[in-house]
Amino acid sequence: MKKKYLPKGFRAGGVSAGIKKSGKPDLAIFYSDCGAKAACLFTLNKIKAAPLKLNKAHLKSGRLFRAIIVNSGNANCLTGRAGLKDARTTAVYAAKALRISPVSVLVNSTGVIGKRLAVDKIKKAVPLLVKKLSESGLGMAQKAILTTDTFAKSASAKFFIGNKAVSICGVAKGAGMISPDMATMLVFILTDANITQAALNSVLKACVAGTFNCITVDGCMSTNDSVMVLANGMAENSLIRSGAGLNKFRSALYSVCLGLARMVVRDGEGATKFIEITVDKAVNAKQAKKAALAVANSSLFKTAMYGENPNFGRIAAAIGASGVDVNEEGLKIKVSPLADKEIKVYCSLNKGRGKATVYTSDLTPEYVKINAEYN
């Protein structure tokens, strides 16, 4: 398998710490050789896992960041003050091994909710993990962040600012509990771009709005969802603030985010179909997205897609129940062949110029089996 290389100044690695009973890789680090600006977006779920609380505190420090440590197999959520202590301890262990400040470490966890994190196992594994850090260590890091995923997810882009090549590389995990604001996923994006903090924040927010916040597998929002970008400036391009440089960066970041978002849907738990739903001619874009998500989250629609049942009244019913401005006379629905693995649904409301596209998967007996047994 061809090795995947990271943007300048980044290294990654993954090991098995024994958090997962299977013995599969479950601990990863993404590391920057120099301080990097960080932009992060987190789930809107009112119940948030301990690592998210810690990360928000670290971000308020205004410091540059050096590392992201991630464990899978345990979400460290609904664990109270002990869980927050465990998240802090994880940052301390990583910082000690890397010889950096704990405040420059972002911590992430994913897996089962409601159980204490085995920080003793992390303590033992971190020294080996740091030794394994490599410019070509992305593959192992990808494997270590997975839970019910069936494949590792990565996307990259490269562009030029003047004569300086700028790279962006992103990895993600996510397959179930996928819903906008955000999905049950962890996304880590690394770039060597030299960019202002304000520009990085605004571009990430815009890109997530049109990608990760436009996917749904089951309409369920989790507690650990995070999208993180580290930008270490080692491409040495002229500082990106606005104008053509910012447009190039935005386009590249959007392509990485969309690629990862689509992979998450393709890997939806038990999914056999990838479904793209476009609602056009709504009153505005907000109503178009609301209608599209109503269809995408409809269990009746999703099971019909699995059964290849052309009962498109389920689409009309979902749009009508969404609360958007629509009537029977103006509604037009087109659906590509249901026997295909990729299905496109187009709905015109004939009410205005608003348009939105969302992505979802079908709902299958395998999804029920996976989640009935997940613990």
Closest Cα partner for 64 from 35, 44, 84?
35
**What residue spans of the chain are helical by DSSP H?**
50-60, 80-98, 119-131, 138-144, 197-209, 243-266, 285-296, 299-306, 313-321, 365-373
Joined tokens for residue 223: 């507690």
Strand duo 332-335 + 153-161: pairing: unpaired
Residues labelled catalytic: 184
Find all residues with CB under 8 Å of 195, minimum gap 6, and list them: 37, 231, 233, 239, 240, 241, 246, 249
Contact between 20 and 54 (Cβ < 8 Å)? no
Q: Which residue has the tokens 């301890």?
A: 89
Closest Cα partner for 191 from 261, 144, 254, 130?
254
Which residues are registered as beta bridge partners of 278? 346, 357
Closest Cα partner for 363 from 217, 264, 152?
217
Using CA atoms, how far apart are residues 196 and 241, in angstroms rounded to an integer? 6
Closest Cα partner for 20 from 114, 113, 112, 128?
112
Using CA atoms, how far apart are residues 243 and 253, in angstroms rounded to an integer? 16
Rounded to 10 deg, the angle between the 243-266 and 197-209 helix axes is: 40
Q: How many CA atoms lie within 13 A of 51 on its CB side?
A: 33
Find all residues with CB under 8 Å of 57, minimum gap 6, and list them: none
Terminal-residue alpha carbon distance, the chain = 32
Using CA atoms, how far apart are residues 375 and 367, in angstroms rounded to an integer? 14
Rounded to 10 deg, the angle between the 285-296 and 299-306 helix axes is: 60
